[in-house]
Amino acid sequence: MRPYILAETNWKAIKKLDVEVAVLPWGATEAHNYHLPYATDNYQIEAIAAEAGKRAWELGTKAMILPNIPFGVNTGQADIDLNINLNPSTQFAILSDVIEVLNRQGILKLILLNGHGGNSFKPLLRELGLKFPKMLLVTTSFFEIVDKSAFFEESGDHADEMETSLMLHLRPDLVLPLEEAGLGKERKSRIKGIREGWAWSERKWSMVTVDTGIGNPKKATKEKGEKFFAAIAQKLAGLITDIAQTEIENRYED
């Protein structure tokens, strides 16, 4: 039993524990090129949350890792078989209910740990911050915590070198040989503003990529994934501890 993992602990332990901060991982279920499993985002975010929770716990932080939400926003992938979509409004309803429980029970600090690029939680937390003004609501995406370019050669954002390396470290039994992976080539928008990054439109996945990947995974290795995983977990553990030690009403410097 890991006492910082809610799914593994029990009421005997919980009733004695004064939880300082809750962490809610949120992933997705979707195709990841030909070589990675549909639950790639979930395996990654669950492992990262658990390792960061462990490191924070060892520092004396009473963090609680909540069960992962396994479905994310996949509105641009409606025609990809079994990519399970939750609309943002559905995410809002789920998140509101979870936060209501924490607020009622006096657990006033929550980190929403995102594992899927299609999820966008800032607008949701803006609204929920008005609904639960006593709470400190924080969100971060694991793929933004450290600089990917320091670990990987190829750019990308889906089933790429980074995600493939992580899965080779975490669940190599679920990764097909890399020679079976597609190249993850992305078709760029014809619209200049979107192509340059200062305008946005949702990507229609089947128009953008042949193999559902974006980014070449061929240079992925277990060793790269292990180093990246450790760097993320260490930095996230620091965030968890920092939030736990911060007074909500005194969280800004003079």
Domain ranges of the chain: 11-250
pLDDT mean across residues, the chain: 97
Single-letter amino acid, residue 137: L
Considering the entire predicted model, what is its pTM? Answer: 0.96
Q: Which CATH class is domain 11-250?
A: alpha beta
In this predicted structure, the answer to whether residue 146 has a pLDDT above a threshold of 90 is: yes
Which CA distances in Å does 136 have to 13, 232, 249? 25, 22, 9
Where does the pLDDT of residue 254 fall: very low under 50, low under 70, confident under 90, or very high at 90 and above? Answer: confident
Each residue's pLDDT tens digit, 28-59: 999 999 999 999 999 999 999 999 999 999 99
Q: What is the pLDDT of residue 136?
A: 98
Each residue's pLDDT tens digit, 182-201: 999 999 999 999 999 999 99
